[in-house]
Amino acid sequence: MPRYMLTIAYDGTDFCGWQKQEPPAAQAEATGSGAHVDPTLETGEPGRVALRTVQAIVERAVREVVREPVMLFGASRTDSGVHARGQVAAFTATDDPALQARGSGWPLSRGTDALRRAINGRLPDDVLVTDVRSVPGDFDPIGDCIAKGYSYTIHASRERPLWDRRYVHQVWEPLDTQPMRDVAAELVGEHDFAAFAAAGHGRQSTIRTVHALTVARAIDAHTGRPREDRIRIDISGSGFLWNMVRIIAGTLADAGRGRADVARIRDALRTGDRRLAGPTFPASGLCLEWITYKQRDEPPHAESAS
């Protein structure tokens, strides 16, 4: 039975995150997630509603292409509003000749590029499959992951952004990048990141390893020069806690404002006191850039989500 790995890019603004969700209708309205209800998605139980999630939308498109039930498993459960250039998901199709004769399944002989085009033809404008490849039958998007990379983009200016406003978070004053880099250096390596996790993260251990964490002025696409009003944070690691990257972004911004320094961050890592870290920045500036696996040495190259 062939198994396929998809690299997926999406604008997360109008999605209720990656993972499929089917809450009771009353609960969806009470929590405000009712705005994300998609009446075109089927639910498993009466009285429940399907929220518009990336997993649900892409899984439906795959089912329409292969014309059989499939389960799409993703590597990262991005939150509502978070974007992606390199999300990874996988599904297994039927290789039964009898079913193929009726048009079901997707044998390897049909080709992965044809599969990508067929899926994309059934997807909305804010999500795109950028790559499809065949993988071993035991490939696990979560368990086989060895590293992930995220970016967070800050617009530091009193002037509002316009064209890319969905993909940045605005702060209203300039930020000094050197203190941000000093604090970033303290977070690289293996640490207990309890102070940088949201309450209720649900993990037994808060120890994580950050491989790299950089802070730089973003390059203007038109002039090729660094922008004084735009800061990009790039972070990679073996795994992250709930809201960890968004809290790190808020902490680095506090350093750029002069509200946090290296000593404070060392205390946060030592004590696990959430009050010593910065605020949780909004989802809009966060993007899942890439995921690497044991089978490959390089991160997948995905088309820009913006």
Sign of CA dihedral 288, 9, 253, 250: negative
Query: Helix, strand or coil for residue 183?
Result: helix
First to last CA, the chain: 35
In order, the DSSP letters of 247-290 are HHHHHHHHHHHTS--HHHHHHHHHH--GGGS-----GGGEEEEE
Sign of CA dihedral 248, 252, 254, 259: positive
Contact 91, 33 (CB under 8 A): no
Contact 1, 92 (CB under 8 A): yes
| Active-site pick, 11, 79, 126, 229 | 79
CA–CA separation, 238 and 293 (whole Å): 11
CA–CA separation, 281 and 82 (whole Å): 11
Is 131 known to be catalytic? no
CA distances from 263 to 255, 260, 267 (A): 11, 8, 6
Phi-psi region of 272 (alpha: psi -120 to 50; beta: other; left: phi over 0): left
Q: Report the relative pairing of strands 145-156 and 169-171 from DSSP bridges.
A: parallel
Work out the angle at residue 12's Cα, subtended by the Cα atoms of residues 22 and 185, and round it to the nearest 5 degrees: 115
Work out the angle at residue 289's Cα, subtended by the Cα atoms of residues 285 and 290, and round it to the nearest 5 degrees: 155
CA–CA separation, 239 and 148 (whole Å): 7
Give residue 161's Cα distance to chain centre: 22
What residues are annotated to the active site? Answer: 79
